Amino acid sequence: MTTPERPEISQPSPDPGRPEPELPVPLLYRDAMMLVIDKPAGLPSHRGPQAKRRVIPVLTDHLDALRFGLPRRPEAAHRLDKDTSGCLILGRHPRAMAELNQMFRDGTIDKSYWAIVQGSPAAESGLIDLPLAKRAPDRGWWMKVDPDGLPSQTRYRVMGHGQGEAGPLAWLELEPLTGRTHQLRVHCAESGWPMLGDEIYGDAPREGGPGLQLHARSVTVPLYRKKPPIRVEAPPPPHMLAALRACGWSG
């Protein structure tokens, strides 16, 4: 769902006179209801099976440091893959979580991603409409296109073109209209332009690759009925800068 009027990009509102504590993850926005953090690539949101087998940090290890005086720690209102960076919304208390969860169910929260893909779409914009299902019971979260799977739709827009070591690249803006696991990665790969650095659905090596080139660029949240929607942007991560600049990004 697209917001009719583009809201102003929101920033955190620190308390004057009180220094902000050093935070374990970058904070992009804070109010009484929610936080938006810039999740680093490589940081799992939860301690899943792989994280349990190894002693590695996960986002939930850091949530107590994001209470900002409240008795409860915040909780993630949605998920980002371990290797995806960018905007992640946290609810600060149960009422906030209930409202955020309902907005996600209703599809009123807009999310926009940046991706660098190998190759390029034939059209400068379009809709990918491919149903998805789990690839196999023993493959965890890995997904595949399946006519009997769940409906899955992604809008895309080409933002720029470039050249990489392995051939042509394209910088895409992606808007998921549904929220399936690995949706953007599978949709791009099945369309013929896998994401750069994707070791599951592309041809990236498991060691020494460029890192997954997928970034949750912005979220737009209509959290307050009598105020404009809150729009928050996350700067692109360091491992995507070279490819973005090759594709014409000048930030």
Dump pLDDT digits (tens) for 85-138: 999 999 999 999 999 999 999 999 999 999 999 999 999 999 999 999 998 766
Tokens for 230, please give them: 């809150």
User: Which of 38, 64, 81, 203 does the annotation list as catalytic?
Assistant: 81
Closest Cα partner for 244 from 166, 173, 155, 162?
162
Q: What's the chain's average pLDDT?
A: 89
Can you give the pLDDT at residue 184? 98
What residue type is assigned to position 67 of the chain?
R
Please give the share of the chain, as a percent, with pLDDT higher than 70.
86
Can you give the pLDDT at residue 165? 87
Catalytic residue status for 148: no
CA distance 170 to 126: 14
Model confidence band, residue 54 (pLDDT cutoffs 50, 70, 90): low
pTM of the model as a whole: 0.88
Tell me what the mean pLDDT of segment 182-190 comes to. 97
CA distance 232 to 182: 22
Tell me what the mean pLDDT of segment 5-32 comes to. 67
Provide CB contacts within 8 A for 222, sequence distance 6+: 3, 103, 108, 109, 229, 230
Per-domain residue ranges for the chain?
27-246
CATH architecture of 27-246: 2-Layer Sandwich (3.30)
pLDDT surpassing 80 at residue 49: no
SS (H, E, C) the chain: CCCCCCCCECCCCCCCCCCCCCCCCCEEEECCCEEEEEECCCCCCCCCHHHHHCCCCCHHHHHHHHCCCCCCCCEECCCCCCCCEEEEEEECCHHHHHHHHHHHHHCCCEEEEEEEEECCCCCCEEEEECCEEECCHHHCCCEEECCCCECCEEEEEEEEEEEECCEEEEEEEEEECCCCCCHHHHHHHHCCCCECCCCCCCCCCCCCCCCCCEEEEEEEECCCCCCCCEEEECCCCHHHHHHHHHCCCCC
